[in-house]
Chain A
Amino acid sequence: MTAMSPTPETLAPEPEGKAANGLQAWLPTVRDTALAILLALIVGAVLIAISDEDVINSLEDLFAHPGSFFVYAGDVVRHSFGAVFDAYKALLDGAFGSGSALRRTLERSAPLICAGLGVALAFRAGLFNIGAQGQMLVGALAAGYVGFTFDMPPVIHLGAALAAALIASSLWGGIVGLLKARTGAHEVITTIMLNFVGRFTVLYFLAKESFQRPGSDNLLSPPVDDDATFPTVFGLHLGIPLAILAAGGVWWLLERSRLGFEMRAVGANPEAARTAGMSIGKVYVLTMAITGALSGLAISMTVLGLHQSITDQVVGSVGFDAITVALLGRATPHGTVLAGLLFGALSAGGLGMQTQAGVPPELINVVQALIVLFVAAPALVRGLARLERRKKKADKAKAARTGQEVAA
């Protein structure tokens, strides 16, 4: 896969309208993203409607009594709209409807933002990091192990557990950079494979006695020591401010630091960067290590904040969602923060959808995947959105022509 390369230029803000002022330059990006989200939600609505039990029943009625078509067709439409309305209302309630809903949204956004920043940073250096999942898994092991094994004074314990996560994850990421720099092994393949190595490493350790919670048969670690957990303010742990700080740090690194300049140069054109005297290998290794550290920060929010223990499911799908977050955020720090908040809200809302409307929360994964696909293919979305207008224009032109012909 030597020839395969990510294309950071397609992920960065679109250059069109460069001459215009800041806001105008952003308009196309904002418009395309909004259209993509809208379109994905519409597809989600169709999925809800066609798989809803009441709708299926009324469809069966419709086919059974074709004579009274309009009566039953009305039922179908009514049930469809009802199901979609219920589901999306529950989604909004679950994400923003109450204080606890809002808190859940923020809790879920924080790790997404951090891990997404890692993926975004790698994108800018021309690296496609699919390995956030694996990096988070080993980070979870390290943070948890330090958290529940040792006995340390309050602040130092938290610092030690956090440092353990950052170091473990950045090593796991750094391997990828090193392999790419030394042997040219493509990072897409190595990160995918390391995700699974990470998963089986976690399964292996969780089965060990030193990682087992006494009296539990599940793959569940002992609880993390209170001294090693994130302090909470208003019931909200420190993860959110940390995520914002991390975004600021990544922005500074990319836009204001020498290393960030080298990253962007390597991402734009590795050969030119090499000719300019930069060490591409160094940039690859450092980028992947920092990327890993951001993943480690992300998982420490779960292990030391939310769950305060390790299970085999501790990462969930955050490592993969981080990729979609970074893609939706156009690989910029501020975009990633916004995308992370959106996906955090969707994830929290998915929970509400399940409990209130009985819609499986996996619908959210479908919607998220579609959003990213649509964002990545702006031509498709613009085409769909303009379909009506173009048709109208064509009709008008046709009418004008026939009018002229008639006049002649």
Chain B
Amino acid sequence: MTQVLDVSAVEEPDVRDRADVVRQVKTIVVLALVLVAEVWFKLSIDDPTVSQLLKGPRTLENQPVEFDGTLVSWTAVALTAIALVLAVLDRYPRGGLGVGLGVVLGLSFYAAFLMWAYADPTGAFAPSITNPLPGTISIATALVFGALAGVLCERAGVVNIAIEGQFIAGAFFGSVFSSIAVASIAALPLFWCPVFGLLGGILAGVGMAAMLGLFALRYHVDQVVVGVVLVAFGYGITSFLLGQIPADRKDDLNQPHLLEAVSIPGLSDIPYIGQPLFAQSLLVYAAYVSVPLVWWLLFKTKWGLRVRAVGEHPKAADTVGINVNRIRWQAVLLGGVFAGLGGASFTLSTGAFDKEMTAGLGFISLAAVIMGRWHPVWAAFAALGFGLLRDLKNQLGLLGDKVPGDLVAALPYIACIIAVAGFVGRVRAPAADGQPYIKSD
């Protein structure tokens, strides 16, 4: 018995190759930096008292609650220290558990940062920490839809950097369709008018996707060229059409009725998270459903297998009788549906369309696709994380000069560069991404 144990004890070490060592060193360096930052946050706080309004907007009943941030700061430090020790001992978990631990560490860093940012207010009044979920969800809805569009296209081997263009078109036609429905279809109850707008967004997104397909698949134009040009086209045509709406018709054409919130009984009563997560518009619920739906389509259906096949090895797919370009067309157009929905969320949950209102969020979706390794679920989580960062930027705007919100806004883009540069794991696109398939005779 003891002999057997000895053998396993001898065999265990030295299966680590260089990559494992590099990974361990990287983990240690990153965690050490995070730890130093968290300790610095804690030590530079003079008065740890902060106030929070996490329950919801300020009302007579809901007043800011003051609390001591020390515990939060030290918890973050302790968690990071434990992870650092694990990494030094080479016991940092891998796979799903490792990612989960990473998310916990990230959130605790976020909390420690908030404690520092909100403590010792410089202005006359002290702003309260508000619930990050409503802002995050509203931004992440568009990002998640955009990321799903990107995943679908790129899994089929079509590079889509035109998500931004699909967004802007979806936003414009979402607004126009919703406004027209309000103004012209008297029989339609107001609740359903923005749903009409969603249809407009879908049509616009699919239209842009059809242009991508036409030029990339039919005419084999370089897909990056098509993408760049479609973004310019989308910005141009929406701004042009907006400028052509006469002043006296603005109410008919660009005054959308917004999507109304639908509370899910029970779930929406959960304190703190119930309202922002489960008293949302139909579009947000559609986003919740779309992520598993796309995952199921891609990984559990015959069609999904074909999509992945034409994205990885179109020639092999062709050999077994799959019509490569037809599958690619289907994936691109379905992606257009999601991108259009994402675009519609810009106007149907906030208000009238404005020039270039998508402001580069389509490219954050692209970053989410890459961060999420071309996987719908991971991409959706990356989109959620980027949404949280964007919400943080908006919150920091209230705090004045203490934290440069503009630099926080740049973080998703920097994260994406770090990811493609291979500092975090390995990022590999579908093998045939961007290559037109030209059948040889």
Contacts and interface: CB of A to CB of B under 8 A. Distances in A.
Interface string B74-93: 00000000000000000000
Interface in A360-403: 360, 362-366, 368-370, 372-373, 376-377, 379-380
A213 B137 CA distance: 38
Contacts of A207: 404, 406
Given A193-B367, A204-B406, A366-B233, A376 B434 contact: no
B413 A197 contact: yes
B288 to A, nearest CB: 28
Interface string A189-200: 110111011011
B323 to A, nearest CB: 21
Given A128-B224, A188-B161, A366 B421 contact: no
A339 B219 CA distance: 23
Contacts of A317: 232
Contact of A193 (B243, B417, B422): B417
Contact of B243 (A179, A184, A362, A369): A362
Nearest to A10: B222
Q: Could you say which of B244, B370, B423 has the most chain A C-beta atoms within 10 Å of its C-beta?
A: B244
Interface stretch (B102-110, B115-123, B234-242, B263-271): B234-242
A196 B435 contact: no
B117 to A, nearest CB: 16
A196 B222 contact: no
Contacts of A1: 159, 370, 420, 429, 433-434
Q: Which of A10, A51, A186, A327 has the most CB of B within 10 A?
A: A186
B181 interface: no
Nearest to A186: B420
A376 B225 contact: yes
A24 interface: no
Contacts of A324: 228-229, 232
B71 interface: no
Nearest to A188: B224
Given A196-B363, A197-B410, A190 B243 contact: no
A200 B410 contact: yes
Contact of A190 (B231, B233, B420): B420
| Chain A CB within 10 A, most for which of B221, B360, B423 | B221
Interface string B396-440: 000000001011011001101100111100001111111100000
A5 interface: yes
Interface string B337-376: 0000000000000000000000010010011001000000
Nearest to A190: B417
B240 to A, nearest CB: 4
Contacts of A320: 228, 231-232
Contacts, number: 163
A201 interface: yes
Contact of A4 (B233, B244, B246, B434): B434
A1 B416 CA distance: 13
A194 B413 contact: yes
A6 B236 CA distance: 25
Contacts of B241: 51
Given A189-B370, A196-B413, A4 B159 contact: yes
A183 B229 contact: no
A73 B393 CA distance: 54
Contacts of B231: 320
Nearest to B436: A7
A199 B235 CA distance: 18
B372 to A, nearest CB: 14
Interface string B205-225: 000000100010001011111
B231 to A, nearest CB: 8
Interface string A2-18: 11111100100000000
B139 interface: no
A53 interface: yes
Interface in A1-57: 1-7, 10, 47, 51-53
B228 A365 contact: no
Nearest to A377: B219
A360 B245 CA distance: 10
Given A188-B161, A200-B409, A204-B407, A3 B233 contact: no
A71 interface: no
A117 interface: no
A327 to B, nearest CB: 6
B327 interface: no
A306 to B, nearest CB: 22
A368 B432 CA distance: 30
B226 interface: yes
A3 B363 contact: no
A51 B241 CA distance: 7
Nearest to B211: A373
A7 B159 CA distance: 14
B236 A366 contact: yes
Contacts of A321: 232
A76 interface: no
B226 A323 contact: no
A2 B428 contact: yes
Contacts of A323: 228
A259 interface: no
Contacts of B243: 359-360, 362
A204 B404 contact: yes
B152 interface: no
A203 interface: yes
B421 A373 contact: no
Given A369-B232, A369-B236, A376-B215, A193 B222 contact: no
Nearest to A51: B244
Contacts of B230: 369
Given A194-B417, A201-B410, A5 B360 contact: no
Nearest to A371: B229
Contact of B161 (A47, A192, A201, A377): A192
A167 interface: no
B240 A47 contact: yes
Interface of A: 1-7, 10, 47, 51-53, 128, 130, 179, 182-186, 188-190, 192-194, 196-197, 199-201, 203-204, 207, 317, 320-321, 323-324, 327, 359-360, 362-366, 368-370, 372-373, 376-377, 379-380
Given A10-B222, A201-B410, A369-B232, 16 more contacts: A3-B429, A3-B432, A4-B159, A4-B429, A47-B237, A183-B423, A194-B417, A203-B406, A317-B232, A327-B225, A359-B243, A362-B236, A362-B239, A362-B243, A377-B219, A380-B215
The 3 A-B residue pairs whose C-beta atoms are closest, nearest first, are A360-B243, A365-B236, A4-B434
20 contacts: A1-B159, A1-B420, A3-B431, A6-B225, A10-B222, A52-B244, A183-B423, A185-B420, A188-B224, A190-B417, A193-B417, A197-B414, A199-B360, A200-B413, A365-B232, A372-B229, A376-B219, A376-B222, A376-B225, A379-B219
